[in-house]
């Protein structure tokens, strides 16, 4: 057994001690075979804008690390089911997608990789190895690295699917100058199955492992402007993320692992009451949701989504609160979304609600508000008037 294989086995052993659920190894060769696909997606407008902007750096480890030799990929399994349900309070609740349950996975993965790097340096000697860890927002494509490192295969929904945990895994990787024996990639095992494609309510999946990220409901819940009409009913009561394609996947059937305490969902956070969310200050929002991955875009998108979720749930009792938000919130987009909700939730012609919407519309008009926002007030008035 060569020294490199011995070191690899030692790294695997140390990773298991640290609670890393899967680990794999690949070369630091480039990923140039993905260039044409990435360029085509960008040209088609299918990228989210959250990706690392430099395609060359996404594909070539040598551009971001001096003399790389290997990449170590890791995966941590996260739960897919809650052990308990929130209390019934009479208020409608929203939900966060599973990948945002528990503490922010970026922090958890970075901490695991930092600990593993320390263990490896203890083995090889300080100064004898260099590492560059990254998670999600790094230059490399997590799924591509994990696939080439043998952690699993890439499904038709573009997610890495592992044998043990399905696609309910967080991914991270470390570039290193240590030369380690690579593992073997696993070919796609989806076969003729199209359940994820069929389940996606907005047809965001292209069928070959790629997606139109602009259509993905997870992306839509993270934008900061008005949500397009098409997507509003589709998000149902989800205020962050989307895991419809994961739930539909046969490889995820029965997969539910509770291996990391920090990933356990707090039911009051992942199934929050919607109306109270509209009144949160920045401090209150950060105190309650700041540790979750779903908080990274701030409270505005989540509050917008909460308003839309109230509409989708048909919560007529929320109209008075929404009228208050419409007239008092300092953010034009939130006010406009509240006006939309008042119109959609009105069940009969009600002069007081109509008068308040009309009054706010005039204020927005006089202040020179954007046409897209003004349109929400006009549509609300038309909807209410149609109830006469």
Which residues does the annotation mark as catalytic? 136
- The closest alpha carbon to 300, from 329, 321, 272, 323, belongs to 329
Are 112 and 141 contacting, i.e. CB atoms less than 8 angstroms apart?
Answer: no
- The closest alpha carbon to 105, from 264, 244, 216, 272, belongs to 264
Contacts 24+ apart (CB under 8 A), 37-45: 37/210, 41/210, 41/213, 44/212, 45/212, 45/214
H or E segment to which residue 57 belongs: helix 55-59
Strands 95-96 and 238-240 come out as parallel
- The closest alpha carbon to 325, from 279, 370, 358, 363, belongs to 279
CA distance 157 to 151: 17
Exposure string (b/e) for 113-134, b if CB count within 10 Å is 16 or more? bebbbebbeeeeeeeebbbbbb
Tokens 């503490």, residue located: 103
> For residue 12, with 0-12 CB atoms within 10 Å meaning exposed, 13-18 middle and 19 or more buried, which class applies?
middle
């Amino acid at each position: 057994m060569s020294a490199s294989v011995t070191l690899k086995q030692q790294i695997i052993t140390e990773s298991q001690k640290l609670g890393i659920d899967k680990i794999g190894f690949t070369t630091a060769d480039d990923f140039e075979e993905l260039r044409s696909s990435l360029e085509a997606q960008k040209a088609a407008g299918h990228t989210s804008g959250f990706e690392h902007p430099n395609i060359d750096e996404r594909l070539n480890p040598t551009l971001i690390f001096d003399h790389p030799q290997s990449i170590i990929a890791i995966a941590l399994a996260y739960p897919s089911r809650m052990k308990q349900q929130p209390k019934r309070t009479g208020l409608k609740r929203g939900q966060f997608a599973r990948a945002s349950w528990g503490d922010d996975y970026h922090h958890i993965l970075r901490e695991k990789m930092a600990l593993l790097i320390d263990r490896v340096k203890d083995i090889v000697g300080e100064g004898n190895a260099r590492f560059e860890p990254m998670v999600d927002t790094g230059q490399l494509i997590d799924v591509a690295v994990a696939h080439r490192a043998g952690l699993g295969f890439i499904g038709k929904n573009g997610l890495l699917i592992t044998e043990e945990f399905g696609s309910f895994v967080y991914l991270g990787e470390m570039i290193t100058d240590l030369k380690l024996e690579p593992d073997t990639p696993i070919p796609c095992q989806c076969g003729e199955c199209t359940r994820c494609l069929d389940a996606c309510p907005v047809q965001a999946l292209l069928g070959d492992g790629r997606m139109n990220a602009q259509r993905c409901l997870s992306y839509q819940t993270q934008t900061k402007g008005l949500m397009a009409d098409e997507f509003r009913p589709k998000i149902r009561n989800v205020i962050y993320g989307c895991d419809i394609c994961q739930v539909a996947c046969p490889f995820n059937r029965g997969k539910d692992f509770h291996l990391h305490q920090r990933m356990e969902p707090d039911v009051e956070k992942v199934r929050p009451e919607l109306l109270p969310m509209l009144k949160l200050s920045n401090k209150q929002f950060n105190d309650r949701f700041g540790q979750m991955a779903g908080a990274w875009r701030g409270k505005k998108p989540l509050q917008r989504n909460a308003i839309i979720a109230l509409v989708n749930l048909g919560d007529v009792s929320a109209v008075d609160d929404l009228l208050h938000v419409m007239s008092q919130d300092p953010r034009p987009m939130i006010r406009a979304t509240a006006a939309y909700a008042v119109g959609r939730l009105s069940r009969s012609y009600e002069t007081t609600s109509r008068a308040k919407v009309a009054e706010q519309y005039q204020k927005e008009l006089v202040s020179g508000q954007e046409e897209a926002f003004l349109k929400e007030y006009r549509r609300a008035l038309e909807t209410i008037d149609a109830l006469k």
